[in-house]
């Protein structure tokens, strides 16, 4: 069937902010969807609250609504835009849940706008546990015995009937939030209580655990003519028991016979036919490793993280095809973009191995619970492609950017055999390295299998790597062995370490002997058809397929790797825009990246895509292969910036701001002399090389001080220190300090933080706008609410911001982007940090000002000036609206992580609220961030002494608005003294019923808790904050956020009264 | 088992190096590639590969070893196997593994060249068409090797079918409809699929005459898959022509080509054939598309199908080649692909039901 009749305008529902379980894959899917619609001449209306995404660009959709994804806003947009259909299956769980709500609230019926693609009934049948079970049993598809319960008692009763262990899965949650394995009654009571709370419908599934089974996934497609294909099979290296998002995954499945494979393939097709899915769907199975017994574990009736992976692994664009199916096409009518000759109705055949490895945030959350289970904890993932499992695996380890070069992380050596066995069994983020360590200690395949139940096939593969490392260490490194080492995936640096030489030595040896990589194409068909896809991976084979046109001008853009805290989808936005700008300028754009979730790794984004680790060796190999005219490091976050120097050292031409300028901004001493030269104040500070020096420095500067290691990423290990004892403790425990690793001690200025992104062509500096943070300096800029335009700065300060920004950009000879953070303290402006590269706020500022920052920066790197492009230096006029960026956290996925805000970044994503009124914009932002803003109710407060004076008036304002206050003794006394009526509650050590009991009973509408000093991980405050997270009660740790919330509530905003306007409408009023 | 450097020399003078497992048997054949990602065991035991050197495009082969139950015949008929990597197997632990792939190949004297850049080789076959090749452990006497490679496409005087077909009749199953299955190199899975229909089957040698078949008094005849060029089996075409119109006939793969020839149609050699488990075919009646398992180097010429009552039932969605024909009045149906799968998708297993309906 061709395009459905009368389809002229379609609304796409996005997935909102990046959180654990819902990451950049939905930007990739949504962007593909919007483009697939526009291709058909359909007008696209988009709602997504996440400004960091590519899909919310005005070039991607015709009407972009960066608004809260709620029933109210969606119905308003439906009323206003009157689309002919809605696509909800590309916006992750958020999109699906919205579709269900629109139906439940009668909006679909009222407006008559149809849901396109997979019908509601199918969504409900896949998502509702009871219906799902019933449907599966009707078609004889086995599901593990299970029961849906809404109380802990019922859960216990059922578990007693079927026996332990059992798995608890809450209904309608992301990444299995709040679920887990329970081995006994006690564990089950805890997990079931949490799960029930987390499920929006208060339902959990208790089911027989099939832990230890093989976990196999199929990505399946179906069209309305009932044609079905499977795009890809995937096998989790970790057996059932660990969330697939936290599992190492290999594609295609490796340990199944054809019989097993076809049994599961046929089952997945039977399932999607029965459900009547239209488009992409993910089916997960548990397969007994010792028989043909299997269970269907899960069906996701939408595109997902796995479908993004399957798309990148095979070259088959699942989201695009899903969209085409939704608007009426059948699979055989959709062309296969890869071959250009065949259609989308086929099953990809691949001739390589794909590995996906999760990226966990435990480098940031060192105190977080690292145990892996049914609740996903990874923030992102990497993918690697090669011709063998071993090589793909070693590549994926390099992609993680954890400083690990092979299978032998240095800190495993000290672990006792006993604790090694324990950690093999328990499964945490480092288990795979434990497996390697076990082999290097001579443990047998069988013994490791008994402890992990990882299939022996995979264990053998890992052991091969270690055995080969042994050969490398002991045998002479002749060209034959070297080639074999490269073929099996060893990095130069790993070989160098095993041979006790420098990396450069191996590199030289390798190039002398002609041991250089070949690049092979990803073509969906194992070379059966001639393909045009410019999508490559490296391997050490005979034939190189990366053909070249030597006359072309080309530039390599270095991407940003996996999504992690501090480096999110924003940098993919920047990389993609850079690629687009290059192509527009007639320059061939080559990109290297390894994140399968992103738009940048879509094969039709750039002229050529290399799916490779972002480490020196692999990037240099590409440069040697391509010989680009320049390399751009400005847009790939710290990942790309870190490569600037090593690449520069070997003579690679970095275009844009020079490596020397980058160093001048990052090197403490050089930066100090720069600002001094320019007469720009900065908080006094010093680099110190020992604990004694630190103490001395802090005394000279005066407490509080901000301390941090020299080169930082996302505020790692930064802390505000109030006295000498704390400082000594910090130096002793939190950092390594020596001649090579200085620690910076700066005066902490408790003022207003201001942030600027600018673009400079060495002559002029264009500043699209000034952002002001709600939270004062000391809260990481990524975790602060930011207001554009700055809402209460004096003209004098604004002038200084412009002056300093201009001076710094020109002095650093910035060619491209620069991001500067300032603090206003007692009417003086200080510069805190200068980053001569793209920043987290680039998508935000580009969208709301309409200034295409990345495009301008890219053109400047190619030699054009701002003037030539019709821009000039200075600050752009302020628009007649406000945009507020609000951070979003994933604390409910991460146990034992403290939620207090500080100089270390903790948020995983962001949303934006936009409105003519500042308060409304803030309100929209908070709503989008998932904050439940009560209009009245009970506030539970426990405020540190240092903050009491400041907190009282804010709490009084809440009291005056009719809120009831409950507080612990000290806070209560202070409130009473201010004449505020307050109820007392016990601290935890004062006995029950105490503050946490109160929270558990659901008596708190929100909690205010400010941090006492010191780093006691398990203080009262910590327990309170965790209880709040787990029970989904908003908890504020910054008085600035509290004040903002108070003002928003005071304004009396109601979501029902709010206006919705598209970004296009807002930005056109700027001009 | 001896492991040493080995080479594939192609008739176009290209040489691909690798590790030769079991170098005792120098061999030559037509070099073809198969894109299946699972089911190497069924591929290597499929008699249709007689005379061929099979390149697996998926790099990791042998992962779950060999289990006799999954094999398609008692003896592998291919000349040699070429892979990127072969799983050593021991201790890799699929619960059904009886022996490793390497042990199986060694037992049957099938050489294997591994460690080959199979993608480069596949691309060469795709662009130049299938070629003759020879597996050797030394490149001395290159001219001689090229000569041998060129001759590798020459079928044996009797044709490949006569090499692989059985010599005596086998009777299987009981009750229900009675079928004669002509063995041109039949895969076990076809037999299994027919037995599942509850039939009594007489499996007969390829050289069977129409008279002999009629003597079984069957309700229908099934023409099996098999190796080589259908024109190498004039005897079979003759037999089938005599059966047409006298009872329902179902042809699979080579059987499909032979049926077409018996009807007066034509076949041709494809540049590199279809071998794999991901070929989409379109049902011309319903517009539905199915993913099929395929293994053929020859195809039916669509232009030759102007035969009254004969309809095109399936086409290949990738290259629009003929994938099936049907003649309702004469009760004939045949498909180029493998409805019995093995290896590959079982999407078209319903065709066995269709055939049973035809003879009912």
> Hey, where are the domains in chain A?
9-124, 145-209, 355-515, 519-654, 684-741, 934-1033
Closest of A1000, A887, A1007 to residue A955, by C-alpha? A1007
HSE (CB half, 13 Å, CA atoms) of B197?
A: 25
- Cβ contact, residue pair B57, A262, below 8 Å: no
Closest of B356, B8, B35 to residue B201, by C-alpha? B356
Two tokens, residue A226: 């009932």
- Cβ contact, residue pair A456, B91, below 8 Å: yes
Two tokens, residue A686: 């010093």
Question: What's the mean per-residue pLDDT of chain A?
Answer: 92
- Cβ contact, residue pair A254, B118, below 8 Å: no
In this predicted model, what pLDDT tens digit does every residue of A899-958 receive, in sequence order?
Answer: 888 888 999 999 999 999 999 999 999 999 998 888 889 999 999 888 999 999 999 999
Closest of B286, B287, B230, B293 to residue B263, by C-alpha? B230
- Helix B254-262 crosses helix B234-243 at what angle (to 10 degrees)? 70
Question: Which CATH architecture does the domain made up of A355-515 adopt?
Answer: Orthogonal Bundle (1.10)
- Asked if residue B218 lies in contact with residue B198, where contact means CB atoms within 8 angstroms, the answer is no
pLDDT for A1071: 46
From the list A269, A349, A528, which residue is nearest B37 (CB)? A349
- Asked if residue A629 lies in contact with residue A653, where contact means CB atoms within 8 angstroms, the answer is yes
| Res A1070 pLDDT > 60 | no
In this predicted model, what pLDDT tens digit does every residue of A818-871 receive, in sequence order?
Answer: 999 999 999 999 999 999 999 999 999 999 999 999 999 999 999 999 999 999
Instruction: State whether residue A256 sits within 8 Å of chain B by CB.
Output: yes
| Contact residues, chain B, for A449 at CB < 8 Å | 93
Closest of A238, A189, A249, A250 to residue A373, by C-alpha? A238
Confidence label for A173 from pLDDT (cuts 50, 70 and 90): low
| Contact residues, chain A, for B64 at CB < 8 Å | 255-257
| Alpha-carbon distance A319 to nearest alpha carbon in chain B (angstroms) | 20
| Res A201 pLDDT > 80 | no
In this predicted model, what pLDDT tens digit does every residue of A273-301 receive, in sequence order?
Answer: 999 999 999 999 999 999 999 999 999 99
Closest of A108, A211, A527, A231 to residue B278, by C-alpha? A231
CA distances for A433 relative to A266, A420, A429, A936, angstroms:
36, 10, 9, 51
pTM given for the model: 0.95
In this predicted model, what pLDDT tens digit does every residue of A1027-1038 receive, in sequence order?
Answer: 888 778 889 999
Residue segments in chain B with a per-residue pLDDT below the cut of 50? 1
Instruction: State whether residue A511 sits within 8 Å of chain B by CB.
Output: no
For residues A856-882, b (16+ Cβ closer than 10 Å) or e, as one string? bbbbbbbeeebeebebebebbeebebb
pLDDT for A732: 75
pLDDT for A1055: 75
Distance CA A176, CA B108 (A): 51
- Helix A25-39 crosses helix A318-326 at what angle (to 10 degrees)? 50
Instruction: State whether residue A536 sits within 8 Å of chain B by CB.
Output: no
**Helix residue ranges per DSSP H, B152-292:** 160-164, 188-196, 210-215, 234-243, 254-262
In this predicted model, what pLDDT tens digit does every residue of A507-545 receive, in sequence order?
Answer: 999 999 999 999 999 999 999 999 888 999 999 999 999
Mean pLDDT, residues A976-993 taken together: 91
Instruction: State whether residue A262 sits within 8 Å of chain B by CB.
Output: yes
Confidence label for A714 from pLDDT (cuts 50, 70 and 90): very low
Distance CA B229, CA B221 (A): 21
Q: Exposed/middle/buried for A960, CB within 10 Å: 0-12, 13-18, 19+?
A: exposed
Shortest CA distance from B33: residue in chain A: A528
- Strands in A540-598 per DSSP E: 554-558, 588-593
Confidence label for A719 from pLDDT (cuts 50, 70 and 90): confident
CA triplet A794, A799, A803: central angle to 5 degrees?
150
Mutation pick from A231, A262, A545 vs chain B, by most beta carbons of B within 10 Å, is A262
- Would the annotation count A835 as a binding residue? yes
Confidence label for A1053 from pLDDT (cuts 50, 70 and 90): confident
For tokens 């490949």, what's the residue?
Answer: B160
pLDDT for A103: 95
- Cβ contact, residue pair A525, B35, below 8 Å: yes
ipTM of the assembly? Answer: 0.97
Contacts of A121 (CB under 8 A, 6+ apart): A276
Distance CA B205, CA B184 (A): 7
pLDDT for A519: 98
pLDDT for A713: 43
- Cβ contact, residue pair A528, B35, below 8 Å: yes
For residues B330-347, b (16+ Cβ closer than 10 Å) or e, as one string? bbbbbbbbbbbbbbbbbb
pLDDT for A715: 44
Contacts of B29 (CB under 8 A, 6+ apart): B51, B52, B53, B78, B79, B80, B132, B133, B152
| Alpha-carbon distance A590 to nearest alpha carbon in chain B (angstroms) | 24
CATH topology of domain A684-741: Dna Ligase; domain 1 (3.30.1490)
Domains of chain B: 3-151 (3.50.30.20), 160-359 (3.40.50.880)
| Alpha-carbon distance A528 to nearest alpha carbon in chain B (angstroms) | 6
In this predicted model, what pLDDT tens digit does every residue of A769-825 receive, in sequence order?
Answer: 999 999 988 899 999 999 999 999 999 999 999 999 999 999 999 999 999 999 999
Binding residues of B for L-glutamine: 48, 226, 228, 254, 257, 295, 297-298
- Asked if residue A283 lies in contact with residue A263, where contact means CB atoms within 8 angstroms, the answer is no
Chain B contacts in chain A segment 440-499 (CB below 8 A): 445, 449, 455-457, 460
| Res A175 pLDDT > 70 | no
- Strands in A513-607 per DSSP E: 518-521, 535-539, 554-558, 588-593
Same fold flag, A145-209 and A684-741: yes
pLDDT for A274: 96
From the list B37, B280, B343, which residue is nearest A350 (CB)? B37
From the list A342, A351, A529, which residue is nearest B59 (CB)? A351
Mutation pick from B123, B316, B340, B342 vs chain A, by most beta carbons of A within 10 Å, is B123
Residues of B assigned a catalytic role: 253, 338, 340
Distance CA A879, CA A868 (A): 24
CATH topology of domain A9-124: Rossmann fold (3.40.50)
User: For chain B, how far is it from start to end, CA to CA, in angstroms?
Assistant: 54
Distance CA A100, CA A88 (A): 10
From the list A229, A341, A352, which residue is nearest B291 (CB)? A229
| CATH code for the part of the protein at A934-1033 | 3.40.50.1380
Distance CA A163, CA A183 (A): 9
- Cβ contact, residue pair A527, B94, below 8 Å: no
Shortest CA distance from A351: residue in chain B: B58
- Strands in chain B per DSSP E: 3-10, 15-21, 27-34, 52-56, 60-61, 80-82, 85-86, 112-114, 131-136, 170-172, 178-183, 200-205, 220-223, 249-252, 267-283, 289-300, 311-316, 322-327, 332-335
HSE (CB half, 13 Å, CA atoms) of B318?
A: 18
| CATH code for the part of the protein at A519-654 | 3.40.50.20
- Strands in A171-278 per DSSP E: 180-182, 204-208, 214-222, 228-236, 249-251
pLDDT for A266: 97
CATH topology of domain A145-209: Dna Ligase; domain 1 (3.30.1490)
From the list B282, B341, B342, which residue is nearest A332 (CB)? B282
Shortest CA distance from B17: residue in chain A: A542
Instruction: State whether residue A213 sits within 8 Å of chain B by CB.
Output: no
- Cβ contact, residue pair B95, A289, below 8 Å: yes
pLDDT for A358: 97
């Amino acid at each position: 069937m061709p395009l459905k009749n009368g389809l002229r305008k379609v609304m796409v529902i996005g997935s909102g902010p990046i959180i654990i379980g819902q990451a950049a894959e939905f930007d990739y899917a949504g962007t593909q969807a919007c483009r697939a619609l526009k291709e058909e001449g359909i007008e696209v209306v988009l709602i997504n609250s996440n400004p960091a995404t590519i899909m919310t660009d005005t070039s991607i959709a015709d009407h972009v609504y960066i608004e809260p994804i709620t029933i109210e806003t969606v119905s308003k947009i439906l009323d206003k835009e009157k689309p002919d259909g809605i696509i909800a299956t590309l916006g992750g769980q958020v999109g699906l849940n919205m579709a269900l709500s629109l139906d439940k609230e009668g909006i679909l019926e009222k407006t008559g706008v149809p849901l396109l693609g997979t019908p509601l009934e199918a969504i409900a049948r896949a998502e509702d546990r009871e219906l799902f079970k019933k449907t599966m049993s009707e078609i004889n598809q086995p599901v593990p015995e299970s029961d849906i319960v809404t109380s802990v008692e019922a859960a216990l009763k059922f578990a007693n009937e079927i026996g332990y262990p059992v798995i608890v899965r809450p209904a309608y949650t992301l990444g299995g939030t709040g679920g887990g394995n329970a081995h006994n009654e006690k564990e089950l009571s805890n997990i079931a209580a949490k799960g029930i709370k987390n499920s929006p419908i208060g339902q959990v599934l208790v089911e027989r655990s099939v832990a230890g089974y093989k976990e196999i996934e199929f990505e399946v497609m179906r069209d309305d003519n009932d044609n079905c294909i499977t795009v890809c099979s995937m096998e989790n290296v970790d057996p059932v028991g660990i969330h697939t998002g936290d599992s190492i995954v290999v594609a295609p499945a490796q340990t199944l016979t054809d019989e097993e494979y076809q049994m599961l393939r046929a089952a997945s097709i039977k399932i999607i036919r029965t459900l009547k899915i239209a488009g992409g769907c993910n089916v997960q199975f548990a397969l007994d490793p010792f028989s043909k017994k299997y269970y269907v574990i899960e069906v996701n009736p939408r595109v997902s993280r796995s479908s993004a992976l399957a798309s990148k692994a095979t070259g088959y664009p699942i989201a695009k095809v899903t969209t085409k199916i939704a608007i009426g096409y059948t699979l055989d009518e959709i062309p296969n973009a890869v071959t250009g000759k065949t259609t989308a109705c086929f099953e990809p055949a691949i001739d390589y191995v794909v590995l996906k490895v999760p990226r966990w945030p435990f480098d940031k959350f060192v105190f977080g619970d690292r145990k892996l289970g049914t609740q996903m904890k990874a923030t992102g993932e990497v993918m690697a492609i090669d011709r063998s499992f071993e090589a793909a695996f070693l590549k994926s380890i390099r992609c993680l950017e954890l400083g690990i070069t092979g299978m032998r992380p240095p800190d495993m050596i000290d672990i006792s055999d006993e604790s090694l066995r324990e950690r093999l069994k328990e499964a945490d983020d480092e288990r795979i390295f434990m497996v390697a360590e076990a082999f290097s200690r001579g443990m047998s395949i069988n013994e490791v299998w008994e402890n992990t139940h990882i299939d022996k096939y995979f264990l053998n593969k890992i052991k091969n790597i270690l055995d080969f490392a042994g050969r490398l260490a002991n045998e002479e490194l002749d060209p034959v062995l070297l080639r074999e080492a490269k073929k099996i995936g060893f990095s130069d640096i790993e070989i160098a370490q095993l041979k006790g030489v420098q990396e450069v030595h191996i590199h030289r040896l390798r190039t002398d002997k002609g041991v250089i990589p070949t690049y092979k194409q990803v073509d969906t068909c194992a070379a059966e058809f001639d393909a045009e896809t410019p999508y490559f991976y490296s391997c050490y084979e005979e034939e190189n397929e990366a053909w070249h046109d030597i006359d072309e001008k080309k530039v390599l853009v270095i991407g940003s790797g996996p999504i992690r805290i501090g480096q999110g989808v924003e940098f993919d936005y920047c990389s993609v825009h850079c690629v687009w700008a290059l192509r527009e300028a007639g320059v061939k754009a080559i990109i290297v990246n390894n994140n399968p979730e992103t738009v940048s790794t879509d094969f039709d984004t750039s002229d050529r895509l290399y799916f490779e680790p972002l480490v020196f060796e692999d990037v240099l190999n590409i440069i040697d292969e391509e010989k680009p005219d320049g390399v751009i490091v400005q847009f790939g976050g710290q990942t790309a910036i870190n490569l600037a120097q090593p690449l520069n050292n070997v003579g690679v031409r970095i275009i844009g701001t020079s490596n020397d300028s980058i160093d001048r901004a990052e090197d403490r001493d050089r930066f100090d002399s720069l600002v001094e030269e320019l007469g720009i104040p900065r908080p006094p500070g010093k680099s110190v090389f020992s604990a004694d020096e630190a103490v001395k420095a802090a005394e000279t500067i005066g407490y509080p001080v901000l301390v941090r290691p020299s080169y930082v990423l996302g505020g790692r290990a930064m802390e505000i220190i109030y006295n000498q004892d704390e400082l000594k403790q910090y130096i002793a425990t939190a950092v390594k300090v020596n001649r090579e690793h200085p620690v910076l001690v700066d005066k902490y200025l408790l003022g207003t933080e201001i942030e600027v992104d600018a673009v400079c062509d060495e002559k002029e500096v264009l500043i699209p706008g000034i952002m002001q943070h709600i939270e004062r300096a000391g809260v990481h800029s990524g975790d602060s609410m930011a207001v554009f335009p700055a809402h209460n700065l004096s003209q004098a300060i604004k002038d200084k911001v412009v002056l300093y920004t201009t001076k710094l950009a020109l002095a650093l000879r910035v060619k491209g982007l620069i991001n500067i953070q300032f603090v206003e303290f007692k009417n003086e402006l200080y510069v805190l940090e200068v980053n001569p590269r793209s920043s987290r706020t680039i998508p935000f500022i580009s969208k709301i000002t309409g200034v295409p920052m990345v495009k301008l920066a890219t053109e400047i790197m190619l030699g054009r000036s701002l003037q030539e492009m019709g821009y000039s230096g200075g600050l752009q006029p302020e628009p007649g609206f406000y945009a507020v960026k609000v951070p979003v956290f994933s604390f409910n996925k991460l146990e034992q992580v403290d939620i207090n805000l500080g100089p270390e970044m903790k948020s995983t994503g962001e949303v934006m609220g936009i409105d003519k009124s500042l308060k409304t914009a803030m309100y929209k932002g908070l709503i989008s961030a998932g904050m439940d803003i009560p209009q009245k109710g009970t506030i539970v407060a426990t405020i540190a002494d240092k903050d009491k004076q400041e907190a009282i008036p804010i709490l009084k304002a809440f009291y005056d608005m009719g809120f009831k206050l409950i507080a612990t003794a000290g806070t209560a006394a202070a409130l009473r003294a201010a004449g505020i009526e307050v109820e007392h509650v016990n601290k935890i050590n004062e006995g029950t019923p105490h503050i946490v009991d109160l929270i558990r009973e659901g008596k708190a509408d929100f909690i205010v808790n400010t941090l006492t000093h010191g780093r006691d991980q398990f203080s009262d405050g910590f327990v309170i904050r965790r209880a709040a997270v787990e029970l989904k009660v908003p908890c504020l740790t910054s008085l600035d956020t509290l004040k903002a919330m108070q003002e928003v509530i005071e304004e009396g905003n109601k979501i029902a009264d709010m206006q919705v306007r598209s970004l296009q409408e807002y930005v056109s009023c700027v001009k | 088992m001896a492991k040493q450097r080995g080479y594939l020399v192609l008739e176009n003078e290209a040489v691909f190096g690798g590790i030769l497992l079991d170098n005792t048997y120098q061999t030559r054949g037509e070099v073809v590639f198969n894109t299946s990602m699972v089911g190497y065991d069924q591929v290597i035991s499929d008699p249709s590969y007689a005379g061929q050197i099979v390149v697996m495009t998926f790099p990791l082969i042998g992962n779950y070893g060999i289990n006799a139950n999954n094999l398609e015949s008692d003896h592998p008929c291919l000349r040699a196997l070429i892979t990127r990597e072969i799983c050593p197997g021991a201790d890799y632990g699929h619960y059904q593994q009886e022996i490793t792939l390497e042990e199986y190949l060694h037992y049957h004297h099938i050489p294997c060249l591994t460690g080959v850049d199979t993608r480069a080789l596949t691309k060469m076959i795709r662009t130049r068409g299938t070629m003759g090749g020879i597996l050797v452990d030394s490149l001395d006497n290159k001219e001689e090797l090229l000569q041998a490679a060129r001759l590798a496409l020459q079928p044996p005087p009797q044709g490949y079918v006569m090499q692989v077909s059985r010599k005596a009749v086998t009777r299987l199953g009981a009750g229900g409809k009675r079928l004669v299955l002509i063995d041109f190199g039949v895969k076990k899975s076809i037999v299994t699929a027919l037995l599942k229909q509850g039939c009594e089957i007489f499996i007969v040698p390829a050289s069977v005459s129409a008279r002999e078949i009629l003597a079984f008094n069957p309700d229908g005849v099934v023409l099996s898959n098999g190796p080589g060029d259908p024109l190498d089996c004039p005897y079979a075409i003759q037999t089938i022509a005599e059966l047409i119109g006298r009872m329902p006939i179902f042809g699979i793969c080579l059987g499909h080509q032979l049926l077409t020839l018996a009807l007066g149609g034509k076949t041709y050699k494809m540049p590199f054939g279809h071998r794999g488990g991901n070929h989409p075919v379109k049902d011309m009646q319903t517009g539905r598309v199915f993913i099929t398992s395929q293994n053929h180097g020859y195809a039916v010429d669509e232009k030759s199908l102007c035969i009254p009552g004969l309809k095109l039932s399936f086409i290949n969605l990738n290259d629009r080649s003929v994938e099936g024909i049907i003649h309702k009045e004469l009760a004939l149906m045949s498909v180029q692909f493998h409805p019995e799968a093995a290896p590959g998708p079982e999407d078209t297993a319903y065709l066995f039901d269709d055939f049973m309906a035809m003879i009912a």
